[in-house]
Amino acid sequence: MSFIHVPPGEAASSTAERIGVLLINLGTPEDSNASGVRTYLNEFLSDRRVIEAPPLVWKPILLGAILPFRPKKTAAAYSRIWNREHDESPLRVWTRLQAQKLAERFDSNEVMVTWGMRYGTPSLAQAVSDLLQAGCTRILAMPLYPQYCAATTATANDQLFRYLMKLRRQPAVRTLPSFPDDPAYIGALEAVIRRTYASCEQAPQMLVTSFHGMPLTSIAKGDSYAAECQRTTEALRQALGMSAEDMPLTYQSRFGPAKWLSPATADFVSGLPEKGITRIAVVMPGFVSDCIETLDEIGNELREDFVKAGGKELTLVPCLNDAPEAIDMLETLTRRELSGWL
């Protein structure tokens, strides 16, 4: 039977020594109302890896200008994409399915698979506790970020080790490195893009890649994020037989007054109709699961802006989610990182 969470009290036999695999994603509010979103944003925007301004400067802004107003707007966005069947966000649905389907690829007596969120629930502390209770003495932590950034990969690892610091008996731990042009990842993206194109009545004139933006200060401090986004895009262009003109690289989700990576997805896409490009597809390779940034920011807001500017059709390429190729990719990465343990 595939492992996701061990119920309280069901500790493994003292003789069992298993390997734990922990999928880590960003996080999500518990519900789509303003109160739930406020709790989530407070945790997220209080992370010093995410907002690197001094707390004495940032805290008054967060408490006085952001948390009183932004949750209502963000809650409306979550409401537009909320999974009503499960009463949870799409990110939670897809991450859980990824863990379940990856677990099916392994002997559950040897490898246990679970999942956790950097912000919100299930917490990384709870996920690691479950793995330890199941008899896991070795853990592979897999932050699901193809391109490395301190605000994503590093903070996930930080949170994991904060919990481990409290343990008397620590497991052996490995962490998944970024995989911006890994063949399994690029192959999975290619498959999803080709399926999406096959479903279009008319082929898009351009495939826009949109990665989550980062402040230029993050790059200046040493993040390899921008270079890895470029590596992903170049590998995907080669796989699809596209040029830089056919498949431009852009960055979304700018926040605050600082200078961010450019070109901005919204500005770039809104300017396409005046150039005669009215049918486009947008792919977001930095997200392995659909979430508010893909489904609402791109699927709703950007599409609306594109149509207002004269565009005719914006096709949203789904994230990898639980596509067979996505689970193949996760299995490939997992088995590679477990080399010597299995």
Domains belonging to the chain, first-starting first, are 18-179+324-337 (3.40.50.1400), 183-316 (3.40.50.1400)
**Is pLDDT at 29 greater than 70 in this prediction?**
yes
Res 53: pLDDT: 92
pLDDT band at 6 (very low <50, low <70, confident <90, very high): very low
Give the number of C-alpha atoms closer than 13 A to the C-alpha of residue 271, restricted to the C-beta side: 7
Mean of pLDDT values over 143-165: 98
SS (H, E, C) 289-316: CCCHHHHHHHHHHHHHHHHHCCCCEEEE
pLDDT, position 317:
98
- Between the alpha carbon of residue 88 and those of residues 33, 81, 108, 312, 321, the distances in Å are 11, 10, 27, 32, 15
pLDDT at 7: 40
pLDDT digits (tens, 9 = 90+) for 268-314: 999 999 999 999 999 999 999 999 999 999 999 999 999 999 999 99
Q: Which residues contact 248 (CB under 8 A, 6 or more apart)?
A: 206, 208, 209, 263, 268
Query: Which residue type is seen at 17?
Result: E
pLDDT value of residue 255 = 82
Provide the pLDDT confidence category of residue 190 given band limits of 50, 70 and 90.
very high
Give one DSSP letter per residue of 173-197, joined into a string.
EEEPPP-TT-HHHHHHHHHHHHHHH
Rounded-to-integer distance, Cα 179 and Cα 229, Å: 10
Q: Give the pLDDT mean for 181-203.
A: 98
Instruction: State mean pLDDT over 309-338.
Output: 98
Report which of 242, 324, 322, 330 is spatially closest to residue 281, judged by C-alpha positions: 242
Residue 256 confidence class, pLDDT cut points 50, 70, 90: confident
Specify the residue for token string 């989530």: 40
pLDDT at 69 over 50: yes
Across the strands, what pairs with 113? 21
Q: Which residues contact 47 (CB under 8 A, 6 or more apart)?
A: 119, 151, 155
Residue 1 has pLDDT above 60, yes or no: no
Q: Is the pLDDT of residue 9 over 50?
A: no
Euclidean distance between the first and the last CA atom of the chain, given in angstroms as a whole number: 19
pLDDT at residue 10 is higher than 50: no
Q: Identify the pLDDT of residue 257.
A: 81
